[in-house]
A and B are shown apart, each in its own frame.
Chain A
């Protein structure tokens, strides 16, 4: 079975540009999580969805960040406009209903904002 799929794997952009990160969770999983990982702050939960509905977005740093989950098989994390301090690795993870404590992580998107 395919794991969590994220695209792109690497993104380099200039400050002020819009960035869209994509995630396809494991089929049948009903929870989806977006994380950001940096050396300084470690792993931070940005937002999570249950059954496509955003449950907690308190970790989203500011209004420049937005996330959507239009259906059970796709989610996006958008940054507009991007800033150099947004440079990080962004992970998507999904979790099945019967084992919601176990999260399956994608390979991550390494974002560099110049």
Chain B
């Protein structure tokens, strides 16, 4: 079945450090891939997405590239800020069939950025 595996946290970084959160997936066909972010006490928000192989999603300095050959969608940011402290979820969605629109989430990675 479809699944998402992301690196376990927590991840603790100093401000301006480089961030990578790994995400790999298992899916049939060609899913869409997403990163969602959850700030403390809030619901999830879409951070970025990619709908086909080699697409790069980007937003707020974060980037992730859809790599079909390695079934990966790693999240990166060149210089993190304290305000980036949150839980990050990788997710996939099939683009066909009865489960169209359903999101399958990874377990989340908590990021803490220290000043």
Residues of A within 8 A of B (CB): 4, 31, 33, 42-43, 45, 48, 50, 55-56, 91, 93, 95, 100-108
Mask, B69-91, CB within 8 Å of A = 1, is 00000000000000000000100
Please report the number of residue pairs spanning A and B whose Cβ atoms sit closer than 8 angstroms. Answer: 53
In the assembly, what is the distance between CA of A92 and CA of B9, in Å? Answer: 25
Which one of A31, A50, A91 contacts B43 once the chains associate, using CB atoms below 8 Å? A91
Total number of B residues with any Cβ neighbor in A under 8 Å: 23
Secondary structure of the A side of the interface?
A: strand
B114 to chain A, nearest CB (A): 23
- Is the Cβ of B43 less than 8 Å from the Cβ of A95? no
| Given known contacts A43-B89, A43-B105, A100 and B45 CB-to-CB distance under 8 angstroms | no
The interface residues of chain A lying within 8 Å CB-to-CB of B45 are: 105
The interface residues of chain B lying within 8 Å CB-to-CB of A103 are: 44, 46, 103
Report if B28 contacts A (CB, 8 A): no
- Is the Cβ of A45 less than 8 Å from the Cβ of B108? no
